[in-house]
Amino acid sequence: MRRVRTGLEYLLTRPGKLRGRRVGLIANPTAVTPDLVHAARALKGSSAVRLVALFGPEHGVWADVQDLVEVPDGRDPATGLKAYSLYGRRRSPTAEMLEGIDALIFDIQDVGSRYYTFVYTLLNAMEACAKLGREIVVLDRPNPIGGVAVSGNVLKPSFTSFVGMHPLAACHGMTVGELALMFRAERHLDLDMRVIQMKGWKREMSFEETGLPWVMPSPNMPTVDTAYVYPGACLLEGTNLSEGRGTTRPFELVGAPWLDPWKLDRDLDHYGLPGVVFRPVFFRPTFQKHKGELCGGVQVHVRNRKLFNPFLTYLTLIQVARRQNPERFEWRQPPYEYEREKLPFDILCGTDEIRQTIEAGRLIRQLVPIWTAEVGAFKRRRQRFLLY
């Protein structure tokens, strides 16, 4: 099997106009070479560029911080360099941070879902670089769930937040490099930006076909399987249902102390959701929602990735779970991801229409034609930014 070559590999061998310049690196543990050398160490040991600072997204440079926990500035233990947090008091690089830096390099593995905050760290950095006259270089990596499937709905601008800063489809099918091109054009940024493309990646590839190692992008994204369910499973964060954090299968396990696993499984089977099978389970989270409590629920087993629709599947699961015990089901209340007024579920969905549909007892499937039209328009928008 021929391996995909990442943007990082090309930068290390062909630094181009970055040669000899002072650079900052926005990265987390996924910024590695194929033999698992981290970009910070590779660039620090390179004579081609001068790495002078690191910048960490949500979870931090080394992804040692759980979700929704702000990360402080610090000193990087691997390189000794200053490590600035872009998930805390500030989510954008400041003039002070960029003093003495000629260019910012972005190298983070995305997972292909609208809600994953790393691409908004990229957007914030792009806007800061445009304002402060710095170059930004985006090192491209595969979309681990492929570049063909586009599904879900498209975020409405009035529901913009840090889990949705641009009108993307829930499952957008783009790489970070392609998203960077879209952000620059659609937000009219006067920005010196370069995307270093991959070689050998094809849109229909699964991550396993790339030959690249999987490194956890965040503490609860342990496997590629997790990435495939995440475009729907992240919506659970807007409810009081456990999304399986505190277990070894986050986002695949779903439940709550008041749910009957067998009834939940039977009710879900009625919908004939494609590409997926549900298995009744009990589990006991070790942290976060329902810590230490026995939860009944299901494990989501994806049998066919091409047929599986994560957005529709998990919304149906939420609706069925709510119907089983509406008195104990709750929508999570703000604040959430720096939004203090709108419901977390609504900003994740990018609209309040889905919640209102669930509360009215109408079938989620009734919204599919609307989503299909939105996705069609999004696919036409994204076409000119596709690199592969």
Closest CA to 196 of 29, 32, 6: 6
Considering the chain, what is the average pLDDT of its residues? 97
For the domain that residue 178 is a member of, what is the CATH number?
A: 3.40.50.12170
CA gap 24, 303 in Å, rounded: 42
Q: Point out the domain boundary residue: 217, 245, 280.
A: 217
Q: Which structural domain, as residue segments, surrounds residue 99?
A: 7-217
Residue 191 resides in a domain = yes
Residue 60: pLDDT band by 50, 70, 90 thresholds? very high
Residue 69 resides in a domain = yes
Closest CA to 206 of 139, 281, 148: 148
Residues 61-80: tens digit of each pLDDT: 999 999 999 999 999 999 99
> In this structure, are residues 236 and 318 in contact, taking their beta carbons and an 8 Å threshold?
yes
User: What would the two tokens of residue 153 be?
Assistant: 């709905």
Residue 242: pLDDT band by 50, 70, 90 thresholds? very high
The model's pTM is: 0.97
Amino acid residing at 74:
G
Residue 1 has pLDDT above 80, yes or no: no
- Stretch 5-10: mean pLDDT, rounded? 97
Q: What pLDDT score was predicted for residue 2?
A: 80
DSSP H helices, 83-117, are 95-98
- Stretch 138-146: mean pLDDT, rounded? 98
Shared domain for 251 and 179, answered yes or no, is no
The domain total for the chain is: 2
Please report, rounded to a whole number, the percentage of residues in the chain having pLDDT higher than 90.
98
Closest CA to 304 of 291, 313, 296: 313
Please report, rounded to a whole number, the percentage of residues in the chain having pLDDT higher than 70.
100
Q: Is the dihedral of CA 79, 138, 108, 205 positive or negative?
A: negative
Shared domain for 180 and 259, answered yes or no, is no
CA gap 156, 352 in Å, rounded: 10
Residues 334-364: tens digit of each pLDDT: 999 999 999 999 999 999 999 999 999 999 9
- Report CA 316 to chain centroid distance, whole Å: 21
Query: Would strands 22-27 and 50-56 be described as parallel, antiparallel, or unpaired?
Result: parallel
